[in-house]
Amino acid sequence: MSDMPLRRWIPEQDLLFLANQPVIYHCHHFNLFLDQSIDDALGHDVAWAVKSRASREMATHLIRGFCQIQGAETPAERLQAAQMLFGAMGHGTLSVLWDDQQGEAKGEYLHYGYAWKEKYGARIKRRTPVDAFAAGFAAAAVTVAFDMPDFSVVADEEDCVALRAKHCQFQLETHSPEAARPDVDFETSANVLGPSITGLYEQEISEHAQALKDFTSQVSGDERGLVEAFGVFVTMTPAGYYNRISFDALMHLRDEAPEFVPILSALLQESGHVCVFNTFGGILSSPEWEALAGAPPSSSEEVIWQSLAIARALGFGRWTLKEFVPNQRLVLSTPATYEIPYFLNRHADITSLTFDFFQGAAISLMKLAHLVDFQQSPQFTDEFYQSMFKNEHSWRCEETHSPLRGDDRLEVVVTVE
């Protein structure tokens, strides 16, 4: 039995770890948007491979660490632990069976499929399955449970609720193992990060972030394995999953169709818009936040600093307010986002990489601060989202500092376009 704690923070960096693996909270809007962006960029088959392999890699480390903590030693105990972990993280109910060289998994209430059906099912006919994260997780559960070589099982989704099936069904089989990539865990993350920083409204941000961290520490999947909170479906997901699929998709495009790299980069930036609008907007207008912070924010400054507290509590890193001039300028600085340890450990040589999600989130914070009246019960609908981002009052973002270019922090400046 390991003495490794289940959930712990690098508190001065606001990075969250579960069983030693970096994890973060995101809502279904972000998850579905990023998932669709990868599909659009690569096509379904390549995207499925990218996503399911990323999930398999991150889940392998996570499940192994979790089994050690739980004292799960037999294959049956390990499979059960993996399935429990999957549901506790808000990803749904997964039942995995394995027999020598092949197996199957049944998924119910899977986060991606269920949320896709809820959001788009009545309007759009989908033609490809959506649960690559669950597929990779099931494959990882098998190799960890049966002490097989890492990354040596693949899973395909044959039935999916997003395709109007009653439940999701996966087939699993052995495959030549994928080469391991450098670990990005608690220790390797801590090793690459510099000193923490503070900024404006630091005390308020820290106090509210801690209160929300305390709150999320008690949130777990319901009997379906879903987390319904703040008016959205929430997951805890390995940060490396998002980082790897974004990076691998960019590299694939760079090699195969470089003219499309800026488009994917723009979509990754928009994923930051989607996240801030839906997750941050949903939290700021929720009863939970009202109980935690009092009346809804009444000024653009309050929206900004409360949003930074939310970012920290979700494990996004020590997002810090360096400068804010209403209607004019926002400077966000951070020694750590959930992307930075990943890129510094794996791709520090690629200095041209930019932090698109952080840039998009910073722009969206300005829109949230200036275009949403939280005193008037704002309606966080698709229509409102579209109107916000087509509004003529638009912003541009410049990444002025980056750890990938030798700086001690990531910093972006948002100004009026």
Partner 1 sequence: MALSLALERGCLAFHLWRTDVPKTTDFDRLAEHLSAHFLPVNGQKQHLPLRVFRDAQGNQLLIVLTTGRVQFRISTDIPKTAREARARALFDLFVQAYQLI
CB nearer to partner 1: give 26 or 29: 29
Sign of CA dihedral 50, 52, 55, 56: negative
CB nearer to partner 1: give 77 or 228: 228
How far apart are CB 222 and partner 1 at their closest, in Å? 7
How far apart are CB 278 and partner 1 at their closest, in Å? 6
Sequence-separated contacts (24+) of 182-187 with Cβ below 8 Å: 182/345, 182/346, 183/61, 183/345, 184/22, 184/240, 184/341, 184/342, 184/345, 184/346, 185/17, 185/20, 185/21, 185/22, 185/61, 186/8, 186/10, 186/17, 186/20, 186/21, 186/22, 187/20
CB nearer to partner 1: give 11 or 231: 231
CA end-to-end distance (rounded Å), the chain: 56
How far apart are CB 5 and partner 1 at their closest, in Å? 19
How far apart are CB 309 and partner 1 at their closest, in Å? 15
How far apart are the C-alpha atoms of 10 and 53, rounded to whole Å?
A: 27
Phi, psi of 99 (to 5 degrees): -135, 95
How far apart are CB 289 and partner 1 at their closest, in Å? 10
CB nearer to partner 1: give 10 or 232: 232
How far apart are CB 118 and partner 1 at their closest, in Å? 5
How far apart are the C-alpha atoms of 112 and 25, rounded to whole Å?
A: 14
How far apart are CB 23 and partner 1 at their closest, in Å? 19
Using CB under 8 A as the criterion, which residues of the chain lie in contact with partner 1 when the complex forms? 29, 114, 118-119, 122, 211, 214-215, 218-219, 222-224, 228, 231-233, 278, 282, 286-288, 290-292, 294-295, 377, 379-382
How far apart are CB 282 and partner 1 at their closest, in Å? 7
CB nearer to partner 1: give 279 or 359: 279
CB nearer to partner 1: give 327 or 386: 386
How far apart are CB 312 and partner 1 at their closest, in Å? 18
How far apart are the C-alpha atoms of 255 and 257, rounded to whole Å?
A: 6
Bridging pattern class, strands 410-416 and 329-334: antiparallel
Is 397 within 8 Å of 363 (Cβ atoms)?
yes
**Among 369, 89, 61, 79, CA closest to 234:** 89
Q: Looking up tokens 């970096």, which residue turns up?
A: 22
CB nearer to partner 1: give 279 or 337: 279
CB nearer to partner 1: give 203 or 376: 376
CB nearer to partner 1: give 352 or 381: 381
Is 115 within 8 Å of 224 (Cβ atoms)?
no
